[in-house]
Amino acid sequence: MPDRVQAVDFQAGKLVLLDQTLLPSEKTFLHLDDVADVWEAIKLLRVRGAPAIGGAAAYGLYLGVRGVPDDAGMPAFMAKLREVRDYLASSRPTAVNLFWALDRLVGVAEAATGDDVAALKARLLDEAHAIKAEDEAMCRAIGEHALTLFDGVDAVLTHCNAGSLATMGIGTALAPVYLAAEQGRTIHVFSDETRPLLQGARITTWELDQAGLPVTLITDGMAATVMRRGKVQAVIVGTDRVAANGDVANKIGTYGVAILAHEHGIPFYVAAPSSTIDFATPDGDAIEIEERDPDEVRRLGGRQTAPADIGVFNPAFDVTPARYVTAIVTEKGVVTAPYPENLRKVVLGG
């Protein structure tokens, strides 16, 4: 397996995060032991990618209640736990893994019987560790399933970053690239730069270059030409939420890439951990889309690139309708249309 940088870890009682806002110029790790710093890291994209956000939030929830006195009593502890849960949940609205991880830990606490406060704290930390271990296994399983779709594929296009820096393992969309390399096979990645925050340029290319894997950077507007010239045989992206009907929310610009892939007869695959599939959300129209600071668009690299007072529309994500999705690759298997039935069949087993 090629070397990879770990974006989320827990060491010596602290949450360790690679500060991805500083890439590619600085490789700096944050060592956090305060829940407010975890909230800030999620909000400001110091940690990003749905699985990584979920893992960071799980550790953040533990850190937020770690200081509750052991003799406080269970009612006071549970009240604090729910308060911290709601606080962390307010950091970003779109990535369902954030809420899934927080609610998983709250559920563990609610189901605990006979534990005192100290024992419950330990149980919550163990659950956060379990989420991390499961994420590592999930990434590998997604990669294995995706590789079954990549016969004859030697180059793919991706948008944003869904590699190891977006997860706690080898990534989702980039997992098959890592596994192919492990098997002695090369899959070349064309990475959209992904405006306005350049996650593809700053993060995907940096990650793959660090791992010694071939990658070519393109601007978002070059994707159509790359497809038309036959430079890629597939598109694979990650996702922050999949609705029950198969609509997919991912980084802004993904929808356009899916339309281009459809026009050029190129399969469009979505790598989605089962925790990202939200059966409570009926379709993409019901997904809340985060809108971010207008200066992310008005400025680039600290330099003003548009009039300071110009109006800006800056949604962080868009929704790709299920009709453009060739397959959704989960750790439990590959899901194809019709998605309302098959997502439940593959993911829920019924």
Homologous superfamily (CATH) for 8-139: translation initiation factor eif-2b, domain 1 (1.20.120.420)
Determine the pLDDT at residue 208: 96
Per-residue pLDDT averaged across 274-302, rounded? 94
Query: What is the rounded average pLDDT of the residues 35-62?
Result: 95
What is the structure's pLDDT at 94? 76
pLDDT digits (tens, 9 = 90+) for 133-175: 999 999 999 999 999 999 999 999 999 999 999 999 999 999 9
The predicted model gives 339-346 an average pLDDT of 97
> What average pLDDT does the chain have?
95
pLDDT of res. 268? 98
By annotation, the residues acting in catalysis are: 240
What would the mean pLDDT of 325-349 be, rounded to a whole number?
A: 96
pLDDT band of residue 195 (cuts 50, 70, 90) is: very high
pLDDT digits (tens, 9 = 90+) for 115-129: 799 999 999 999 999
Residue 350 scores a pLDDT above 70: no
Q: What mean pLDDT comes out for the span 3-26?
A: 93
| pLDDT over 90 at 17, yes or no | yes
Please give the pLDDT value at position 248: 98
The structure's pTM equals: 0.90
pLDDT classification of 294: cutoffs 50, 70, 90: very high
The continuous run of DSSP H or E covering 156 comes out as strand 155-158
pLDDT-derived band of residue 110, with 50, 70 and 90 as boundaries?
Answer: very high
Q: Is pLDDT of 87 > 80? A: yes
Q: For the stretch 196-228, what's the b/e string if a residue is b when 16 or more beta carbons lie within 10 angstroms of its beta carbon?
A: bbbbbbbbbbbbbebbebebbbbebeebbebbe
Q: CA geometry: angle at 54 spanning 50 and 57, to 5°?
A: 135
pLDDT(301) > 90:
no
Give residue limits of the domains in the chain: 8-139, 140-348
Give, in words, the CATH class of 140-348.
alpha beta
* Rounded distance between C-alpha atoms, residue 89 and residue 153, angstroms: 39
Backbone angles phi, psi at 327, to 5 degrees: -160, 150
Residue 2: which pLDDT band, with cuts at 50, 70 and 90? confident
Could you tell me the CA-to-CA distances from 348 to 227, 274, 277 in Å, in that order? Answer: 35, 9, 10
> 333-335 and 327-330: which strand pairing?
antiparallel
Confidence of residue 296 (pLDDT cuts 50, 70, 90): very high
Query: Is 22's pLDDT higher than 70?
Result: yes
**pLDDT for the residue 114:** 77
Question: Quick check: 15 pLDDT over 90?
Answer: yes
Average pLDDT over residues 273-293: 94
Q: Evaluate if residue 1 carries a pLDDT over 80.
A: no
